[in-house]
Homo-oligomer: A and B are copies of this chain.
Amino acid sequence: MSSEEVLKLENQTCFAVYACAKEITRLYQPVLKELGLTYTQYIAMLALWERDAVSVKELGERLYLDSGTLTPLLKKLEAQGLLTRARDAGDERQLLIRLSAAGKALREKALEVPEKVFCQSGVNVEMMLKIRSQMGELMTALQPVAAADQRGE
């Protein structure tokens, strides 16, 4: 690529993904508002509905978020009565996150979220599936780099 083109915004794949991610969460916002959740709170609940009674560390690994983000977020969800935060009796370092009855019940209302958002977007199923698989590929391509950084290489 020429030195003229290499820094053009429209040629930056990073910016394309960054902009899409923001546009997508913007699309979710009004739908999630009905559940009283922000987008990040929503994906945290998704993870918990799939697997309950997990530590902050495990939750963070699945969501790619650290305790600096999760601790305040989980405190807010606790304040809303959706979950409880309690130290693991077997290992006091760990904090176990458990859904409350209200937290489990909210799943029923959340069931219609993906459909609602999909209908509001101008996206068709084929595009959506293609994007998901592409992002999966990209993530596996990027993850080794992140892991190596973690190990200090």
User: Residues of A at under 8 Å CB distance from B?
Assistant: 1, 3, 6-9, 11-28, 39, 43, 46-47, 49-50, 62, 64, 107, 110-111, 113-115, 117, 120-123, 127-132, 134-139, 141-146
Contacts and interface: CB of A to CB of B under 8 A. Distances in A.
A62 to B, nearest CB: 7
Given A9-B43, A18-B21, A20-B138, 5 more contacts: A7-B107, A13-B132, A18-B24, A122-B142, A127-B134
Nearest to A47: B9
Question: What is the predominant secondary structure among interface residues of chain A facing chain B?
Answer: helix
Contacts of A3: 111
Contacts of A142: 20, 23-24, 27, 121-123
A59 B143 CA distance: 32
Contacts of A135: 13, 16-17, 19-20, 131
A123 B138 contact: yes
Contact of A25 (B18, B23, B131): B18
Contacts of A107: 7
A15 B139 CA distance: 11
A3 B107 CA distance: 10
A146 B18 contact: no
Contact of A12 (B11, B12, B21, B114): B114
Give the residue among A110, A142, A143 with the most B Cβ atoms within 10 A. A142
A117 B11 CA distance: 14
B16 A136 contact: yes
